[in-house]
Amino acid sequence: MARIVEKAKSWVLLGVLGACLSLGVIPSLTPVLAQQPINGIEVLVNDEPISSFDINQRLRLVIAVSGGVKSQQEFLKVRKQVIRSMVDERLQLQEAKKNDVKVDNAQLEEFFARRAKGLGQTPEQFEKALKQIGSSKKTMLDQMRAELAWSQLVQGKLGPFVSVSDEEVDAFIKRIRENRGKFEYHLAEIVLLVDRPDQEASVKNNAEELVKRIRGGASFPNIAQQLSASSTAAVGGDIGWITGDDITGPYETAVKTVPVGQISDPIRTPGGYVIIAVRDRRRVLTADPLDAQFDLKQLALGKDKVADEAAAKKFESVVANLHDTATKCDAIADLAKKSGADGPQDIGTLRLRDLQGNVRSQIKDLKAGQSTPMMKMEDGWRVLTVCSRKEPQVQEPDFDSIYNQIEQQRLSMMARRYLRDLRRDAIVDYR
């Protein structure tokens, strides 16, 4: 299904980890990691240590979700960025402690369990997957603790100073309505900061390496979550939908030059570098056929079975004419047994825009009970059946959602300044 869904499930960390393991990404790091200190103190952040062990544990996690590294030079660049992120987290935790913001263990365990559930795993399975890549549950919990503490601190300390008037919301809604029919864009970001002139070259190189890795198949949301300095890192760098008239600066440059589904080259900003993903595009307050929703099931035969002539012939004989007949989704399980299909049958609900070119063209005109012809794809053969179809609806702007959107944008900007000030005043000693 990974080749069917364009966006797929970008948060499926275990799938990424499994792929890394199967490709030998982690074992290939052994000689490089062996050169790293085992458990010395590498950084002091306001006299609080970050050890080599903790850095290497995080490194394994970051490298796994970003698709691996190809050289020691690339490894060292990633390591430098990881250390920078961990320094920021330590500053966030120190500031949270100073303001009596606490994240208890029960809250962390609940957060970990939700993350595992979102990946279709139990907490125990998720913990095992982390161990398999040489990382640990503790490494992820440490990152979660900083994320949660900073979020609570920013909301509690800065939230009361964020002011949004009814007039501003009304004006925003009016502008949306005036833009009816114009394009709006779904954007995401990875922000890498340059605090001092001597960091310019290294941060730029890191940004260029990340672009190569993402274009090579690494997950943008996972990298954003691990390395971005923006508050949007918590949601995989997602900025949300922005109308064309409201996009300025480097984001406007990206929208004009980057095709939908692609990412920009690193763009220099006053604070550092930003990598922008143009995830989607649609027209404001206009029903878009690509937003039609399809509840799908599938009959699939993996490429290993396709290579078996008897299995392939059996599968094809059962599914060959499904596109000419009405098929109830309740019958898919029986058809799977008769055809020898393997893999999951339930795909769930997807928008037409989430599907790739050939699959999209096969699905777009189907109604409930209709199936595609058998499609021969890189990972095997499959037939998709539409269980239900929901046509797109125009959603008028909602006052509360617009209010929250403006509020969060302002809070995010204030949080960036807050962290910047913490960095400026901190004493960071790199050993």
Q: Would you say residue 256 lies in a domain?
A: yes
DSSP one-letter string for 32-93: HHHTS-SS-EEEEETTEEEEHHHHHHHHHHHHHHTT--SSHHHHHHHHHHHHHHHHHHHHHH
Domain boundary among 112, 127, 157: 157
Residues 273 and 348 in one domain: no
Q: Is residue 5 part of a domain?
A: no
Q: What is the mean pLDDT of the chain?
A: 86
23 pLDDT exceeds 50?
Answer: no
Same domain for 347 and 403, yes or no, is: no
269 and 415 together in one domain: yes
- Among 65-69, 104-108, 196-200, 222-226, whose mean pLDDT is lowest? 65-69
Residue 162: phi and psi, rounded to 5, are -85, 120
Q: What is the average per-residue pLDDT within 106-110?
A: 92
Which letter does DSSP use for residue 5 in this model? B
The CA-based dihedral angle spanning residues 59, 64, 68, 73, taken in that order and rounded to the nearest 10 degrees: 0
Q: Which helix (H) or strand (E) holds 422?
A: helix 399-425
Report pLDDT digits (tens) over 331-372.
Answer: 999 999 999 999 789 998 999 988 877 899 999 999 999 999
Please write the tens of the pLDDT for every residue from 301-327: 999 999 999 999 999 999 999 999 999
147 shares a domain with 49 = yes
pLDDT for position 35: 53
Residues 137, 179 within the same domain: no
Does an H or E element contain 358, and which? Answer: helix 357-363
Whether 127 and 30 share a structural domain: yes
User: Containing domain of residue 379, as a range?
Assistant: 289-390
CATH of the domain at 259: 3.10.50.40
Say yes or no: 215 and 81 in one domain.
no
Is 163 a member of any domain? no
| Confidence (pLDDT) at 25 | 39
What CATH number has the domain bearing residue 65? Answer: 1.10.4030.10
- Looking at the structure, do residues 280 and 349 belong to the same domain, yes or no? no
Both 24 and 132 in one domain: the answer is: yes
Confidence of residue 103 (pLDDT cuts 50, 70, 90): very high
Three state DSSP letters for 289-318: HHHCEEEEEEEEEEHHHHCCHHHHHHHHHH
Query: What is the mean predicted confidence (pLDDT) over 96-104?
Result: 94
Same domain? 33 vs 148: yes
Q: Does residue 2 lie within any of the structural domains?
A: no
Residue 4 maps to a domain: no
pLDDT digits (tens, 9 = 90+) for 33-91: 545 556 789 999 999 999 999 999 998 888 877 767 777 877 888 888 899 999 999 99
Q: Are residues 224 and 309 in the same domain?
A: no
Q: What percent of the chain has pLDDT over 90?
A: 54
* Domain-terminating residue out of 128, 157, 186: 157
Q: Residue 165 domain-assigned?
A: no
| Rounded Cα distance, 206 and 319, in Å | 49
Residue-wise pLDDT tens digits, 374-419: 999 888 999 999 999 999 988 888 999 999 989 988 998 899 889 9
Q: Judge whether 293 lies within some domain.
A: yes
Are residue 63 and residue 125 in the same domain, yes or no?
yes
CB-based contact 53:39 (threshold 8 Å): yes
User: Structural domain tally of the chain?
Assistant: 3
3 within some domain: no
